Structure 1
Amino acid sequence: MVASRSRSNSLVVPQAAQALEQLKYEIAQELGIQLPKDGYYGHMLTRETGSIGGQITRRLVQMAEQQLSGKFGR
């Protein structure tokens, strides 16, 4: 029996796609990384794409922590 796989990187809130895309470009600019205009990332270094992804994750965790601290303050 073969287990069916679902995409683990699909968005829970599809409407967030545009905001995440904007965040990606902002972070790339902050890091001094030029994103390809054609959308093909195959020529980029793994280090560059990893840096962008890591910063996105840090920023999203920070946003969540701020929301939670406001909602569930000490």
Structure 2
Amino acid sequence: MANNTLVVQQAQAALNQMKYEVAQELGIQLSPTGYNGNLATRDAGAIGGHITKRLVQIAEQQLSNAKW
């Protein structure tokens, strides 16, 4: 069973927006209703992989700008 609980609940909207932005960049059509059961596994993986890359880049930038 997967644990997809967000640590910061307010991040849900930002993650959803990022999902749609990445899908659009990749040319993948997502349903506006939120149901994407017909989405190919390969496409879902591509979206998730690109989101992960972006989140890592954001974290790296924040860490490099942090003053300890």
Q: Normalising to structure 2: TM-score of the pair? A: 0.90
Cα deviation for residue 13 of structure 1 reads 0.2
Matched positions, count: 68
1:44 to 36, 39, 43: 39
Question: How far is the alpha carbon of 1:9 from its aligned partner?
Answer: 1.2
The one-character-per-residue Cα deviations of 1:6-65 (angstroms, maximum 9, x if unpaired) are x52110000000000000000000000000122222111000000000000000000000
Alignment of 1:1-74 (within 5 A): 8-71=3-66
> Larger C-alpha radius of gyration, 1 or 2?
1
Moved more, 48-57 or 35-44: 35-44
The CA RMSD measured in Å over matched residues stands at 1.7
**Over 6 Å off, 4+ runs:** none
- The CA distance in 2 between the partners of 1:49 and 1:72, in whole Å, is 37
Please list every run of 5 or more consecutive structure 2 residues that lacks an aligned counterpart in the other structure: none
Q: Percent identity?
A: 60
Unaligned runs of 5+ in 1: none
SS, match of residue 43 in structure 1:
coil
